[in-house]
A and B are shown apart, each in its own frame.
Chain A
Amino acid sequence: MGTNIYGVILAGGVGSRMGNVEKPKQFITIGEKPIIIHTIEKFMINPRFEEIIVLCPSQWVSYTKDIVRKFIGETDRIAVIEGGAVRNETVMNSIKYIEEAHGIDEDTIIVTHDSVRPFITHRIIEDNIDAALEFGATDTVIPATDTIVEGKDNETISSIPDRSIMYQGQTPQSFRALKLRDTYNSLTEEEKGILTDACKILVTKGIPVKLVKGEVSNIKITYPHDLVVAEAIVRGEGNVK
């Protein structure tokens, strides 16, 4: 079964928030390569991953396979498959794929990551794997810098939580795959309907999720100005004087 640890790159977005850009945002180029390629490369370089599974909308599967071949080359360590209708269905698809292609057991770990966070670091990935092996589930976070305000009626403040215990969620989120799937399947449709991310599957059932320190630079490229920021922090060539 090898390392029994899998990278899961979630590329489900169709890019509707990126203004007039036609391609989903993960396919936009920063530096010399599409964003998703930068992200996959960081996972590829980590020898602890048995395979990296890339999940994208069905109409982009062939395109993604082509750019993987073009920029990374032929490899049997990357599988490009179709995602689901929503984020957690996509994660479930990755688990189903692992089960069919490699077999699965209770020690199988998945490290799920947004394809549009190309500035993921080796340290964050390593910390995720180590914490997932020890605790069973992780969420990558950074301390909140803005004050979080709750407005239950969307009109007025209902509370202002103590910022010192507030965090902003990033990815990766890493899990024991079987535990995640079993818990997800135990949820009612109503419970599933309010899930915004995979960690909430476990949190809904009171299962602890270990916090892993993220990085401010581990940004999610969501809006057009994020692309400008991303381009600005990438230096083109090596620094030779």
Chain B
Amino acid sequence: MLNKVYQIVSPRQFEETFVDIELDSSSVIVRPKYLSICHADQRYYQGTRPEEVLKKKFPMALLHEGIGEVVADPTGTFSVGDEVVMIPNFPTEKDDIIAENYLRSSKFRASSMDGLMQEFVIGPADRFVKLPAGIDPYVAAFTELVSVSYHAVQRMIRFSHERRNVFGVWGDGNLGFITSLILKKCLPDAKVYIFGIDEYKLQDFTFADGTYLCSEIPEDMRVDHAFECVGNVVSGQAINQIIDYIHPEGTISILGVSEDLVPLNTRMILEKGLRFFGSSRSGRSDYEGLLKLYEENPDIINYLESIVGSKVEINEIKDISNAFETDIHKRLGKTVLIWNI
């Protein structure tokens, strides 16, 4: 079938093409409905990644966060009309130790293969997860991002020592908001403090046990473990501040992406015996766990509704650029594309 694909060909320029796809008996066909823009997409759109990276990646369809409706499923896993979230990670092998999102052989939508900006998205049945009935589609659109936070929180529970009374989350953006919310729901007895730079944004963290400006952290503040959700080169400042305020033997989860190398206070990492772990992306089990968490805590959806920033209808190719420009100029929140094209 000739599938229409909307690709970025150079920064800020999209073109349409058709890909002849095979409708085989093992592939589910999904019509994308609500898609969401991630920072990684913006780096391609604005051309802020290194020139040689852009040259290698373009042309490519962007976006890896999204939901859609099943239009055909020869595998019998789904019914036509089922609403599903699309998993962007594509493992090509199985490993008993290494998770699917860390296997170097895995492909990922809008990074090593076309993203979701397509007429139809095709993949094996295990790359789709059925959504609970009646879920807000604008929130469901960025399930992928929430699953990344969920994944990091699960790893924190796995890697950190058992004294988990106080957590610090550095970063007052979308990732900080989502990670601290999921953390609070997974570990309801723990105190969760947020450290940011924008008082206006910090006011939205109503579920947290406290919020602080990074420039005004009380001297006696201490956390058992911490999450870095800042990203870019300033993530170094955040991590070094975490090193200052964390108890010895604490565990630090790094979630923010930086194109540049980040200098760290390694002396204090050694002295305090700190543990760092990185997290990136997520796998099928994280989606399943997250959707269960949604069911047990319906108020999560309600909190996440507050970070839906803009809803942009996509009826023609120029609307795609408008959505990305809107996303650049937003103060906070996620930009969701209503995929009618």
Contact size class for B?
A: 20 to 34
In the complex, A225 has a CB within 8 A of chain B: no
In the complex, A99 has a CB within 8 A of chain B: no
We find that the number of chain A residues with CB closer than 8 angstroms to chain B is: 25
- Chain A residues with CB under 8 Å of B107's CB are 240
Shortest Cβ gap from A73 to chain B (Å): 9
Q: Identify 19 new A-B residue pairs, CB closer than 8 A, beyond the known A234-B19, A238-B19.
A: A31-B20, A33-B20, A38-B2, A38-B20, A41-B23, A42-B1, A45-B1, A45-B23, A119-B4, A119-B18, A121-B119, A122-B71, A123-B341, A217-B4, A217-B16, A234-B18, A235-B20, A239-B7, A240-B107
Q: Which of B55-63, B139-147, B192-200 contacts A (4 or more CB under 8 A)?
A: B55-63
Interface residues of B in 83-128 (CB under 8 A from A): 107, 111-114, 119-120
* A239: nearest chain-B partner, CB-CB: B114
The docked-state distance in angstroms from the alpha carbon of A233 to that of B20 is 10
Given contacts A38-B1, A241-B56, contact A47 B80 (CB under 8 A): yes
- Chain A residues with CB under 8 Å of B1's CB are 38, 41-42, 45
A241 touches B18 (CB 8 A): no
Interface residues of A in 226-241 (CB under 8 A from B): 233-241
B21 touches A241 (CB 8 A): no
Binding site for A on B (CB under 8 A): 1-2, 4-5, 7, 16-21, 23, 29, 31, 56-57, 59-61, 71-72, 80-81, 107, 111-114, 119-120, 315, 340-341
The docked-state distance in angstroms from the alpha carbon of A80 to that of B81 is 28
Given contacts A41-B23, A47-B71, A122-B120, contact A233 B57 (CB under 8 A): no
In the complex, A196 has a CB within 8 A of chain B: no
- Chain B residues with CB under 8 Å of A122's CB are 31, 71, 119-120
The docked-state distance in angstroms from the alpha carbon of A123 to that of B314 is 11
A45 touches B4 (CB 8 A): no
> Can you name 28 A-B residue pairings with CB atoms under 8 Å?
A31-B2, A33-B20, A38-B1, A38-B20, A41-B23, A42-B2, A45-B23, A45-B29, A45-B71, A45-B72, A119-B18, A121-B119, A122-B31, A122-B71, A213-B315, A234-B2, A234-B18, A234-B20, A235-B17, A236-B20, A237-B19, A238-B19, A239-B59, A239-B61, A239-B114, A241-B111, A241-B112, A241-B113
Shortest Cβ gap from B79 to chain A (Å): 10
* A236: nearest chain-B partner, CB-CB: B20
Shortest Cβ gap from B57 to chain A (Å): 6
- Chain A residues with CB under 8 Å of B71's CB are 45-47, 122
In the complex, A32 has a CB within 8 A of chain B: yes
A241 touches B60 (CB 8 A): yes
The docked-state distance in angstroms from the alpha carbon of A217 to that of B2 is 12
* B1: nearest chain-A partner, CB-CB: A41
A239 touches B113 (CB 8 A): yes
The docked-state distance in angstroms from the alpha carbon of A46 to that of B80 is 10
Closest 5 pairs (CB-CB, A-B):
A31-B20, A41-B1, A239-B114, A241-B112, A47-B80
A233 touches B113 (CB 8 A): no
The docked-state distance in angstroms from the alpha carbon of A217 to that of B4 is 10
B113 touches A118 (CB 8 A): no
B20 touches A32 (CB 8 A): yes
Shortest Cβ gap from B311 to chain A (Å): 18
Most A C-beta atoms less than 10 A away, residue of B4, B59, B60, B107: B4
Given contacts A122-B119, A241-B112, contact A235 B19 (CB under 8 A): yes
- Chain B residues with CB under 8 Å of A42's CB are 1-2
- Chain A residues with CB under 8 Å of B57's CB are 241
The docked-state distance in angstroms from the alpha carbon of A188 to that of B29 is 47
